Amino acid sequence: MSKIGIDIEKAKQILQEGGLVGIPTETVYGLAANALDKDAVLKIFEAKNRPHFDPLIIHTDSIEKIKQYVSDFPQWAKQLANAFWPGPLTLLLPKKNTIPDLVTSGLSQVAVRIPNHTLTLQLLKSLDFPLAAPSANPFGYISPTKATHVAAQLQGCVDYILDGGSCEVGIESTIVGFEDEKITIYRIGGLALEDIEKLVGKVQVKINQSSNPLAPGMLKSHYAPKKPLFIVDVAAFLKENNSKKFGVISFSKIYKGEKIISKTLSPSSNLKEAAHNLFAALRDLDESDVEVIIAEKFPDSFLGRAINDRLERASVSL
Ligand code: TXA
Ligand code: MG
């Protein structure tokens, strides 16, 4: 498919002309446009069917560039940026007027991030504007971790997809801001809470589900497959339920059975590996002939927190 490739020049040209490009990052693929071009940004909302109240993250390759778009880069942000950028961390900082209100949905803060992916860093370096880029999936659906995922869902709306392989981290960035004089986490993601606290001490976590969220990634139903997903004790559940064909998401245990498709995310119980595999496994099951997806709860530490968060938002309660 000519739409997918590794031609950075082509990606650059399309972005300069106001087009949309799928870009790889270490977390998930983004659907990128020139963040300073309102018409280009509008195309992102249309392609994703995304409500305008859901603001976008801007991506660049250096703190110097970010300073053109934020009015303050406080000490707490410097400390986190120096430790974790490029990487799966997004910072909420007060915006300058250089960033269109459309990007931030009228909020006074803009979300910024330096992603850690060679191809995309090369692209960002060559551009004199930042890229607004939400995850490259239709609003509410599972985020893409491969170029083919983007092509499958946004084929008609995207002008080119840079193929950077399978996303290493596999789960969206951790969003951090500052509220009530405290460093605050709004979305738990690919950078673990433990790693942040090791650097800056105890932080406040505000990722609770709400119908009027600060970040729609906080919406109760998000990151969801089309098939119903339940979080259960898998072994007990399978013993009692055998009328349907089930897809099973487990950490390290391999479940066997005639009527199940089992996705073991990390046979060696490695949470990083499990996070890397999560979204592709959910997608595979959604596209398979299973009727219902069941998932077990993961250990509630390090990337297990982000995995549980995404599974909970993808699930329906029993
Ligand atoms: O890993 C990631 O963050 C990926 C890659 C492509 O960088 N991007 C991503 O974007 O996950 P998106 O749009 O799918 O999720 C961004 C989240 C949304 O929940 C949005 O509401 C929140 O960030 N957000 C963006 N700007 C914000 C702002 N100014 N204030 C509060 N929340 C914001
Ligand atoms: Mg998203």
Each residue's pLDDT tens digit, 117-165: 999 999 999 999 999 999 999 999 999 999 999 999 998 899 999 999 9
Ligand whose nearest atom lies closest to the CA of 111: 1
pLDDT digits (tens, 9 = 90+) for 12-66: 999 999 999 999 999 999 999 999 999 999 999 999 999 999 999 999 999 999 9
Q: Which residues of 250-285 are buried (b: 16+ CB within 10 A; e: fewer)?
A: bbeeebeeeebbbbbbbeeeebbbbbbbbbbbbbeb
Q: Which ligand is nearest to the CA of 186?
A: 1
For residue 46, the surrounding DSSP H or E stretch is: helix 38-48
Q: How far is the CA of 143 from the centre of ligand 2 (A)?
A: 6
CA distances from residue 60 to 67, 132, 138, 168, 270 in whole angstroms, order as listed: 11, 9, 23, 19, 31
pLDDT digits (tens, 9 = 90+) for 290-315: 999 999 999 999 999 999 999 999 99
Q: For a ligand 1 pocket test, name from 31, 45, 50, 57 the mutation site with the most ligand atoms within 8 angstroms of its C-beta.
A: 57
- How far is ligand 2, taken at its centre, from the CA of residue 244, in Å? 31
pTM over 0.85: yes
Q: Is-cis flag, bond preceding 86, omega within 30?
A: yes
Q: How far apart are the CA of 137 and the centre of ligand 2, in A?
A: 7
Rounded Cα gap, residues 308 and 145, in angstroms = 18
Give the pLDDT confidence of 88-107 residue by residue, as tens digits.
999 999 999 999 999 999 99
Contact, 282 vs 171, CB < 8 A? no
Nearest CA to ligand 1 atom 7: 30
Is the pLDDT at 212 greater than 70? The verdict is: no
Which residues in 124-151 are b (16+ Cβ under 10 Å) and which e?
beebebbbbbbbbbebbbbbbbbbbbbb
Angle of CA points 164, 190, 277, to nearest 5°? 60
Per-residue pLDDT at 221:
66
Nearest partner of 38 among 110, 116, 102, 118, judged by Cα: 102
- CB under 8 A, 24+ apart: contacts of 263-270: 265/307
Question: Closest Cα to residue 109, out of 127, 96, 123?
Answer: 96
**Strand order across the 292-295 sheet:** 229-231, 292-295, 246-250, 260-264
- From 20, 48, 69, 90, give the residue whose CB has the most ligand 1 atoms within 8 Å, as the site to mutate: 90
Q: What percent of the chain has pLDDT over 70?
A: 94
Residues touching ligand 1 (Cβ under 6 Å) are: 25, 27-28, 30, 54-57, 90, 92, 104, 107, 109-111, 113, 115, 133-135, 172-173, 175, 214-217
Share of the chain above pLDDT 90, in %: 91
| pLDDT band at residue 111 under the 50/70/90 scheme | very high
Q: What is the CA radius of gyration of the chain?
A: 19
Report whether pLDDT(223) > 90. no
pLDDT at 19: 98
User: 68-77: per-residue pLDDT in tens?
Assistant: 999 999 999 9
Mean pLDDT along residues 212-219:
57
Å from CA of 111 to ligand 1 middle: 7
What is residue 2's predicted lDDT score, i.e. its pLDDT? 61
